[in-house]
Amino acid sequence: MNDKKNTSKYLSQLIAVSKMYYEKNMTQQQISETIHMHRTEISRLLKEARKLGIVKFTINDGMQDISTLEHFFIEKFNLKDALIVPTNVYEQNVLESLGTISAKYLEKLFHSNMIIGLSWGKTVAGTVKKVSSEHHLKNTTVIPLIAGPLGKLPNDYHANTIVIKLSQKLSANKSTLEAPAIVSSKEVMQELLNNPNNQSVVQKWNKLDVAIVGIGSDLITNQSRWKAFYKDTSFENEFKTSGGVGDILSQPFDYDGRIVDFSANIISLKLSDLMNVPNTIAIAEGNLKIKSIIGALRTGIINTLITTDLTAIKIKEELEKSQM
């Protein structure tokens, strides 16, 4: 009976030490001070835990598949880079995982003396939310690439709000657009663009170093965020009848990547100008965006795609199916 008790106590000790080291990220010295045990004994217990199978290490072979997928997208669409986020690695929901990894990627790209442009939406907002606040970039400015919603869109998803949040995290300058994205006439649009504050943003569009955009889809037009952005405009009807499968900055394109002729008076960076930005990064995922991501990639406007493994696999399958 005593042997059984001693064994149980020993196993409990192995588990407790292993949790402190591997789950709580405590150092062996910190564990030693916490449970009043010498460091050499802590080291021995950790080795024993591995030997007994209490602690197991696994190598995620799927990461090799991720690398193969990234190479496929880079080669297929002549991209500068592709980042595919594994959805089964992080204990988060998909958008949080996407935001976390996208933010880490962007932090390596951001530096002083830059102009960074942002679109609106949940995915871009979720990425900026995950950017670290430990940056101090000099002579860097963050600006919106599109004006504001027509309806009551949650404030967090406004381009201006996302711009303000990123500028604070980077300790950067900012400029915002004080106008709706779609207006009734070219005359009204010109009047709004003549506003000195708006003019300062538009003048920076041809000096962008980085543009971060989402990708819209013809399959999400019934969602509340989408309807709020385009409230009381003809955008939805024109979008549906134009043959467009998706849009970037409220400018539609079809499945083959052709930009769709559109009559709306949109206050946003033109896609033809977006193509000239050195780093145009699209962040998008989901089954409802498979064809719109393909169309966006075929425009040649995007040079970096960030998506999830599940979305990437579905895109690859869709491309293979369309070639049959």
pLDDT in tens, 227-267: 999 998 888 888 888 889 999 999 999 999 999 987 779 99
Q: Is residue 291 part of a domain?
A: yes
d(CA 51, CA 160): 55
Per the domain annotation, does 57 fall within a domain?
Answer: no
280 and 178 in a common domain: yes
Q: Are residues 126 and 264 in the same domain?
A: yes
Residues 235 and 105 reside in one and the same domain: yes
Rounded Cα–Cα distance for residues 254 and 263 (Å) = 16
Residue 166 lies in a domain: yes
Query: What does pTM read for this prediction?
Result: 0.80
Please state the φ and ψ torsions of residue 45, each to the nearest 5 degrees: -65, -40
Asked, for residue 56, whether it belongs to a domain, the answer is no
What are the tens digits of pLDDT across the range 90-100?
445 888 889 98
**Residue with the larger pLDDT of the pair 19 and 279:** 279
Strands 251-253 and 210-213: unpaired
Number of domains in the chain: 2
DSSP string, 42-59: HHHHHHHHHHTTSS----
Query: Which pair of tokens denotes residue 95?
Result: 């958008």
Structural domain ending residue among the three candidates 10, 30, 51: 51
CATH number reported for the structural domain that contains residue 117 in this entry: 3.40.50.1360
Q: Is the pLDDT of residue 57 over 50?
A: yes
pLDDT digits (tens, 9 = 90+) for 181-235: 999 899 999 999 999 999 999 999 999 999 999 999 999 988 999 999 999 888 8
User: Is 117 within 8 Å of 152 (Cβ atoms)?
Assistant: no
CATH code of 30's domain: 1.10.10
Domain residues for 144? 62-322
Alpha-helical regions (H) of 154-234: 159-170, 186-193, 196-202, 224-229
